[in-house]
Chains A and B, each alone.
Chain A
Amino acid sequence: MGEVLIRGGQVVDATGSRVADVLVRDGEVAAVGDGLSVRRGGRTLDAGGCVVAPGLVDLHAHLRQPGREEAETVESGSRAAALGGYTAVVAMPNTEPAVDCAAVVREVLDLGASALCDVHVAGAITKNRDGCELAPMAEMAELGVRLFTDDGAGVQDTRLMRRALEYAGGLGVTLGQHCEDASLANGGAMHEGEWSSRLGLPGIPAEAEELMVLRDITLIRLTAALGARVHFLHLSTAGSIAIVRAAKEAGLPVSAEAAPHHFTLTDAEVASYDPVFKVNPPLRPASDVDAVRSGLADGTIDAIATDHAPHAPEFKEASFQDAAFGMLGLETALSLALTGLELPIAQVLALLSWKPARIAGLDGHGGPIAEGRPAHLCVIDPSATWTVDPEALASRSRNTPYAGRILTGRVRHTVLAGEPVVIDGEAHR
């Protein structure tokens, strides 16, 4: 593999910010400094006016393989990820079959070997994600799985969740919880409140999420001594964030993520009845959106995760009530975070890169950009504007809620283990 020189960018990582060239060789950062040059046969990527950052890390992507290849594959999802600046994604286990044993983990890892980003796998907490019996977490952990979740549903049974936390604690792995009390959510299709009442759609109260956050924090008090850790997926309500803030102040081993749609869109969007706005957790009112933004700003929420959830058209061309939950995220998350949060760029990158890398246990990702480190990098033009065109996305699916929106901030280059997989906004593989 030839050398790659990333020239003239503002290098930003957890250690700070400086204008420098970055030279990449043999999959690693060979040098960071002024006036670097590349050997003959190497490649120079212009980064003038751009930010050079550690590649982004998504804790929460539905790549749909195996089982729903018409919606997404590991290949197409990884292409979308690379174009979005990601060099690592954690693939969610709600596939068909579910990722609930070593064999399926291996299948997804094999598919990921030729992908445009590193593909890590989250395993299911329970067999077939049905919430009844523990999945063989140890055999999956041996293959490198660090995060386990039944995402798509929360683990409803309190005793089972206690045992899962204890068992996971013994393995040194983290449990990710999709917080939703199924009995209270009761088949709802959107946030329960003013809009659901007016629109006549069954609602999911904020409290359905908050109850499970509170329950799991209660269980962490019971199990933390055994090494248990819980990561709260896609938090969406002011109440949840307040509960997590208090738990962190009490020193409990909890972390949390939030999705871009929960800090950019409100439940008023559902008035169009367009199922592209159907997602779980649902879009919430402005007061919750503000709380998510505050939680990201003050560190209560550790990471931005996309909850990238592709769906084939037939699952979105149904009635709002019958349509599938979920929206695309990998190709829009960075732009939305850069312009939607009004935070310094280093803080945005922390939420998108090095903090999620730590939660996922990915030592090679998230920087710092320093000699000898793996060269997983993205180059971002923070002032470039672009219009979201669903047809132009790399995902196999089209269910973005941002169609037609003009966003600011775009990935220019993405470098995976020293290889430029995106150059000037085009995938190269």
Chain B
Amino acid sequence: MKSLLSVAELDVADLDEIMRLTDQFVEVSERQIPRVPALRGRTVVSLFYEESTRTRLSFETAAKRLSADTMNFAVSTSSVKKGESLRDTVQTIEAMGVDVIIVRHPSAGVPWQVANWVDAAVVNAGDGAHEHPTQALLDCYTIRQQRGSLEGLRVAIVGDIAHSRVARSDVLAFTTLGAEVTLVAPPTLLPPSLAGWPVMVNNDLDDVLPKADIVYLLRMQLERQHEALLPSLREYTARYGLTRDRARLLADDALVMHPGPMNRGVEIAAEVANRPNSVITRQVANGVAVRMAVLFLLAGANPRDHIVGDPNG
């Protein structure tokens, strides 16, 4: 694997390999000194054109636990408008000598362009409404932790599918691993075409919940109601929010997931987020280990050599 741009590039064997490595990095993370020298001497830079403290911290933590040197290149949209082109910025960073570039950008496709311009490995940390591969990987890992396998599980992904990079990556990852995915959203928040998507669509959340093994709630961007996509957040919550009452439709062992940050009271009620089968904080914890696995696969000098090494060696 040279770069991680899209879940579409990963087959079952790749996903299994990443999950297996993640198991080992979960073990590392539980040590007293959760650090291995796997990427010592390597430089990992995060290039974020969009504010995302959570994802950036998760990647930086992962890189540090692998003993990589880390740099953080936060680009505000205003400095972009001062004239430096995307290509200039990327080539400036590469000239500093980096091994991995972690890219987050509000426009779809930018990680592909970056990968074309540099020799370093590129990780897509979210590109516009397109993909967020490491989120999908940590979601798969979290589900496996709870259920052993995704094979045959019924997953409902609920919310703003049209604008969601998480939904696109999750659909690819979940279905590759054998889950059945149903998208649940008002028609205004579905992509214009679902041709080629291995999914079912249902506009009625109440109909989907009793049969779901997993309900995956997407974050509702609060500005959608100003784009004629929704009359109001109140109406969205009434039809698509996982309210306390609606959560009673779920099977007892159904998992509740969310990529964060949550809008409590909009797509998910506070009590539901806190219920035992909500694995939302577990998703965050697994995020670091999954990202360690990805960085290790992309930049590890001798795969498998250093994972269990002496942290001071």
Contacts and interface: CB of A to CB of B under 8 A. Distances in A.
A200 B127 contact: yes
A201 B85 contact: no
Contact of A320 (B109, B168, B196): B109
Contact of A201 (B87, B109, B112, B193): B109
Contacts of A205: 192
A389 interface: no
Interface majority SS (helix, strand, loop, mixed), chain B:
loop
Interface stretch (A62-70, A190-198, A397-405): A190-198
Interface string B159-198: 0000001001000000000000000000000011111110
A203 interface: yes
A192 B192 contact: yes
Nearest to A321: B107
Interface residues of A, number: 23
A239 to B, nearest CB: 16
Interface in A265-319: 272-274, 313-314, 317-319
Given A200-B129, A200-B165, A201-B128, A319 B192 contact: no
Nearest to A314: B85
A317 B196 contact: no
Interface residues of B, number: 27
Interface majority SS (helix, strand, loop, mixed), chain A:
loop
A322 interface: yes
Interface string B74-112: 000000000101111000000000000000011111101
A197 B109 contact: no
Contacts of A322: 86, 107
Contacts of B107: 319-322
A48 B193 CA distance: 52
B267 interface: no
Contacts of A272: 112
B86 A319 contact: yes
A18 to B, nearest CB: 51
B251 to A, nearest CB: 31
B113 interface: yes
B112 A321 contact: no
A319 B110 contact: yes
The 4 lowest CB-CB distance pairs between A and B, nearest first, are A273-B109, A200-B130, A319-B107, A197-B191
Interface of A: 192-194, 196-203, 205, 272-274, 313-314, 317-322
